[in-house]
Structure 1
Amino acid sequence: MSRIGVITNPTAGSGRGARWGSEALTALSAHGHQIRDLSRGSWAASYEAAMEHRRGLDALVVVGGDGMVHLGIQVCGGRTLPLGIVAAGSGNDAAQSLGLPIHDIEASVRRIDEGLSGHIARIDLGVITGATVDHPSKPRYFIAVLSAGIDAAIAAYGSNLTYPRGPLKYKVATLRELPRFKPYGVRIKVDGTEWTQRCTLIAVANGTVFGGGLKVSPDSVLNDGKLELVIAEPLSRRSILKLFPKLYDGSHLADERIRVIPASTIEITPLGDAEGGDGAALPPAFADGEQVGRAPMTVTVAPRALRVLGATLAK
């Protein structure tokens, strides 16, 4: 019998999360596991509960979308405690990247069982540090993509939308955010090489996708010990509108104004008008769809820092 902590999100999946959470708890119990429900009604409270009880667990399971996975990796990242994922949210980029079932409770529980029997994938995590990184978790881990430019501004707008949900929310947020866009002023330092520029999109990729299937860095691999900086030069609003549909198939990388730079350590420092620089101030950064704080921040990679039950990485 395995001792499993479970965190559910009642608001996941357009409000269907409460039912999915209940079904997941029932299924895990039916498979013979000893369950401790660590859901506490808020992200921070559930995190604290999981941290308090983690030493008495054989695994932590999160039920919901990418936001719940992001919570889970704060608890399990850099530790031997494995993470199980029941993907039941509006956005399930992490589960898709890990080859896990989506919106299938029973199949997800079977994968968790397989993981507890030894089928575990060890993957890298991005690590965010800086004085303004949001609590409660420092450092802040991420599994997929850190967004720090217009991609973050769109994520911020989308996080306040109650309708529509899922990938369509990102498209609506793009149309709403574009009219106020001005290129950002930044200082970037990648593995010791430093420069300043004005830019549009800034993303640090550990995985391939974000925002409901946007392939910002199609060649990123979750277990290669590297990150990729994706940065776009200043673009007009019309060019941005044309760019975002290309993110769904990765064809945006054919644009010579977009660079992908492999890296181990990336420092992002704002040089907007407020800092006496050239360009707009950076928006708050988002990772895995969750706000993580404001630059300046440093992003590094933690190789093989997360154990995921039943995951299968694409070759």
Structure 2
Amino acid sequence: MQVLFIVNEYAGNGKGKKAWSRIQQNLTIDYRVAFTQYKGHGEEIARQYTQSNNERWLVVVIGGDGTVHEVVSGAVYNERVIIGVVSAGSGNDFARNFRVFQQAKQIEEFLLIENSGTLMDVGRIQLGIAPTELFVNNAGIGFDAYVTKLTNTSRFKVYMNRIGLGKLSYAAFVVKGIFSFQRFDVTVRSNEEELYFKQAWFVAVSNQPYFGGGMKISPASNPNDGKIEVTIVYNISRIKLLLVFATVFFEKHTKFKEITFLQNEQFDITVHTDKMVCHTDGDYIGEIGQDMNIRCTVETAVWKRVNMDK
């Protein structure tokens, strides 16, 4: 089995570079390494290396959720590839639901002893007639995407990463965003069911439970059950929304009557306002226009992660 490390040295404001240095100095196996240079480069690297021959690959991602997203996008549908992760981002929601590599020794032991992968689902989201976007963890429409955009374009996140508190930057922008975000009406359809929600804050579509650096927004999500989950928060005051976010870390938000949870293989979502922001796996992907359709689906068992069950 060939081993490829895909390293985002800039993840977590330099955590990726430090993590790679720590792993590299303890490796005794043969390997290849490639460094991401720009947004989307992880996907290009994964595809370039793993599609060129019939070799089996262990691809180890060193970076955050965005880098994991890119590499999975490049290796999806390739049965010869198993993906492992060394978390080095600010949120690291992928690592909260899966075991990840911490040391070089674990990687080498996996190659010698386990050497197998577990098939995982991915979600897909399509904004209008745009190409579909893959998501590993979750996609969001509305407030969570708004906060994601604020967080990722702010110097405050860089500072928080520098002092080791990067995972709190999302929470800080939640507080800021609550007082500036404009709520919206939304229709959610699945199979024969159509539901209308007034004054919605966000619609989160989940493939696994966590988002925003540890918020367990969708406790029922399982990334290999052939389903995706939708969480709608609506008709709730700004102050009460703060309480929701304070309780989501402990799964107590499920008791709020203003939160609806849905599960299915496909959802169609229509936002009844203009220019609502969207994200996948913590990366802003654009805006949706008024009354345009957003289609969310699941693709079952299309990529492999290292078999290191918790």
**1:131-280 matched pairs, under 5 angstroms:** 131=128, 139-161=132-154, 162-165=158-161, 166-198=166-198, 199-272=200-273, 274=274
Once the two structures are aligned, what percentage of the paired residues are identical? Answer: 24
Contact 1:206 1:220 (C-alpha < 8 Å) held by counterparts: yes
Counterpart of 2:176 in structure 1: which amino acid?
R
Question: SS in structure 2 opposite 1:266?
Answer: strand
Larger strand proportion, structure 1 or 2? Answer: 2
Q: 1:42 aligns with which of 33, 38, 44?
A: 38
Question: Structure 1 residues 46 and 119, CA, compared in 2 at 3 Å: closer, same or farther?
Answer: closer
TM-superposed deviation, 1:245: 0.8
Give 1:229 deviation, angstroms. Answer: 0.8
Find the residue that maps to 1:24 and give its secondary structure: helix
Instruction: Give, in whole Å, the separation in 1 of the partners of 2:45 and 2:115.
Output: 26
Q: Distance in 2 between matches of 1:178 and 1:107?
A: 44
Counterpart Cα distance in 2 of 1:288 and 1:108? 26
Q: 1:169 to 1:229 in 2, by over 3 A?
A: same
Runs of 5+ unmatched residues, structure 1: 275-280
- How far apart are residue 146 of structure 1 and its match? 1.3
Alignment root-mean-square deviation, CA: 2.2
Does the alignment pair 1:14 with 2:13? yes
CA 111–70 in structure 1, closer or farther in 2 if over 3 Å, else same: farther
**Structure 2 regions of 5+ residues with no counterpart?**
none
Distance 1:107 1:261, change over 3 A: farther
3-state secondary structure, aligned to 1:154: helix
Instruction: Find the aligned partners of 1:188 and 1:263 in 2 and give their Cα distance.
Output: 12
CA shift digits 1:45-86 (9 cap, x unpaired):
332233222224523221012111111110122221221211
TM-score (norm 1): 0.85
The alignment's TM-score, normalised by the length of structure 2, stands at: 0.86
Deviations 1:162-187 (A, max 9, x none): 23232210121112212212211223
On the 8 A contact 1:188/1:267 being kept in 2, the answer is yes
Q: Which residue of structure 2 lines up, in the alignment, with residue 69 of structure 1?
A: 68
Shift of 1:213: 0.8
Give the count of matched residue pairs.
294
Give the residue type in structure 2 aligned to 1:148: I
CA 126–112 in structure 1, closer or farther in 2 if over 3 Å, else same: farther
